Amino acid sequence: MPDLTFVLPHWLYWLGLVAFPLLAMVMVRRHRARARQPAGASLPLGYMLLVTAGFVGVHRFYLRSWLGVIYLPLFVAILYANGETRDAREARSLARSDVMITDFDLERAQGAVDKLEDGAQAKLAAARQAVEAAHAGVARARDAFDQASAMARWCAIAIATLLLIDAVMLPRLVRRADERAPPEKAPPPEQTAAEKPDLKTVNPITRGIEAVSRFSGEFVAYWSVIAVFAYYYEVVARYIFNSPTNWAHEGMFLMFGMQYLMSGAYAYMSDSHVRVDVFYARFSPRGKAFTDLLTSVFFFIFAGTLLWTGWIFFMDSAGVMEVSFTEWAIQYWPVKGTIVLGAALIILQGVAKLLKDIEVLATAGRA
């Protein structure tokens, strides 16, 4: 199998983190706005599955065609052949080292013969035998490598041929799957933010802040989808093409770190943070508002400290255009900038929560 040498460009990484969530949000909102009878098998989805996971027949299974099992033994054979290829490559490297050593020993033995040393002829004969054995080892390792590579190559050709055939047949397969599928019931309409009790707002300021928090939470939530594609590429590159990446793992753990920082405001708005509520859960709405109002002092101290220290980290990193120490050398200063952004968002949401608590107390007082 050929090696994959693709390295994700830095600009594409950052562009993807911005553009993909925006595109996903537009597509989801358009889908919700249609509110139509759910369709059967999707031809675009079928082609996407064929391109991304067709080598194991996923597109066939999606269309309820058990002929997808044809792909599985071919894929397993590729995995086995790649394992044999790695072993043969290592054996070939060791055999070449043995050749270098035996060639050196042969030169020394030939020198001893030229100097007419005692026993030199026996040492020369043994050195020649060792050289022949080392070269034979190289030949065996090369043959094993070629056989394993040929096996992987022919299995890959077989899979590619089957995929081309299925690519042509896919529209008909989708129609047949729709004919066999039972009719589906329309999904219940989804509640909007205004209809959900936990997302109701009380004034324009709170409404605006919670809109920002909701947008930031939804935006970074779609980053999890990016991780699916990135790790999928890493697995395919590592185990099928013997080409592990130097960017997938680093890019994803940095992305999830930024996601954690920027989703704090949404989690606070939806009351998803961990809370010790042994007593709090028993309080009345007015008691909860009063307790939240008192403890908000500690919240703003923590969030303010996070904002200030995050700003220091960000400015120090941006001043030197800090990058990671890995081979990929991705920029670190935008990552540290999300500390500041996340802290600012959660402080804003804290202000919105404070205004809600004040209104709850004021409303209860008038009552």
Would 185 be classed as within a structural domain? no
**What tokens appear for 308 in the block?**
């200030």
Q: Do 239 and 108 share a domain, yes or no? A: no
3-class DSSP state of 323: strand
Residue 7 backbone zone (phi > 0: left; psi -120 to 50: alpha; other: beta): beta
Would 11 be classed as within a structural domain? no
pLDDT digits (tens, 9 = 90+) for 132-147: 888 888 888 888 888 9
Would 48 be classed as within a structural domain? yes
Would you say residue 296 has pLDDT above 90?
Answer: no
Would you say residue 2 has pLDDT above 60?
Answer: yes
Would you say residue 198 has pLDDT above 50?
Answer: no
- pLDDT score, position 14: 95
Would 202 be classed as within a structural domain? yes
CA atoms 107, 112, 115, 120: torsion sign: negative
Would you say residue 182 has pLDDT above 80?
Answer: no
- pLDDT score, position 213: 94
Domain count, the chain: 2
Which of 214-218, 226-230, 249-253, 292-296 shows the lowest per-residue confidence on average (mean pLDDT)? 292-296
Would 166 be classed as within a structural domain? yes
Would 49 be classed as within a structural domain? yes
**Confidence label for 303 from pLDDT (cuts 50, 70 and 90):** very high
* Average confidence score pLDDT of the chain: 85
**What tokens appear for 339 in the block?**
């500390």
3-class DSSP state of 302: helix
Beta-carbon count within 10 A of 227 CB: 16
**Confidence label for 71 from pLDDT (cuts 50, 70 and 90):** very high
- pLDDT score, position 192: 47
Q: Do 172 and 206 share a domain, yes or no? A: no
Would 97 be classed as within a structural domain? yes
Q: Tell me the pTM.
A: 0.71
Q: Do 212 and 348 share a domain, yes or no? A: yes
Would you say residue 367 has pLDDT above 70?
Answer: no
Last residue of a domain, one of 180, 210, 226: 180
Would you say residue 263 has pLDDT above 90?
Answer: yes
CA atoms 334, 335, 336, 340: torsion sign: positive
Q: Do 145 and 211 share a domain, yes or no? A: no
**What tokens appear for 317 in the block?**
């990193």
- pLDDT score, position 195: 43
**What tokens appear for 5 in the block?**
């040498």
Would 155 be classed as within a structural domain? yes
Last residue of a domain, one of 151, 180, 209: 180
Place of tokens 């994959």: 4
Q: Do 119 and 87 share a domain, yes or no? A: yes
Q: Do 220 and 315 share a domain, yes or no? A: yes
Residue 347: which domain range?
A: 197-272+282-366
Q: Do 245 and 307 share a domain, yes or no? A: yes
Q: Do 172 and 237 share a domain, yes or no? A: no
- pLDDT score, position 187: 54
Q: Do 265 and 305 share a domain, yes or no? A: yes
Q: Do 334 and 238 share a domain, yes or no? A: yes
Q: Do 355 and 230 share a domain, yes or no? A: yes
Q: Do 340 and 304 share a domain, yes or no? A: yes
Last residue of a domain, one of 118, 146, 180: 180
Question: Quick one: average pLDDT of 105-126?
Answer: 77
From the number of C-beta atoms within 10 Å of its C-beta (0-12, 13-18, 19+), residue 343 rates as: buried
Regarding predicted confidence, which is higher, 356 or 4?
A: 356
**Confidence label for 126 from pLDDT (cuts 50, 70 and 90):** confident
Task: Report the alpha-carbon distance of residue 291 to residue 279 in Å, rounded.
Answer: 11
